[in-house]
Amino acid sequence: RYYFTSEADLLDILSNGSNPEKILVHVPKVYLQTKTLVLGAEKTASGRPVTTKFISGVGVEEVVFEPPVPLEGKVEIYMQTVMDGMKLTLFENLKRSLKRYAQLPRPEWLMHKDAETGKPSDPAQIILLVLAVYYVQEAEAALTAAEKDAQHPVAGRAAKEAARLARGRALLPVCLGALEDAVVFLLGGARFAYLDAAGGEGEAEEE
**Using one digit for the tens of pLDDT, what is the confidence trace for 6-53?**
889 999 999 998 999 999 999 998 998 899 999 999 899 889 999 999
pLDDT of residue 198: 47
Report the pLDDT averaged over residues 86-109. 93
Report the pLDDT averaged over residues 175-187. 45
pLDDT of residue 136: 87
pLDDT of residue 200: 47
Q: Give the pTM.
A: 0.68
pLDDT of residue 187: 46
pLDDT of residue 156: 60
What's the CA gap between 117 and 58, in Å, rounded? Answer: 21
**Predicted confidence band at 151 (pLDDT cuts at 50, 70, 90)?**
low
Model confidence over 61-89: pLDDT tens digits?
899 999 999 999 999 999 999 999 999 99
Of residues 11 and 179, which shows the higher confidence score? 11
pLDDT of residue 142: 76
- Counting other chains too, the contacts that 64-72 makes at CB distance below 8 Å and 24 or more residues apart are 64/89, 65/89, 66/92, 66/93, 68/40, 68/42, 70/44, 71/20, 71/39, 71/44, 72/44, 72/46, 72/48
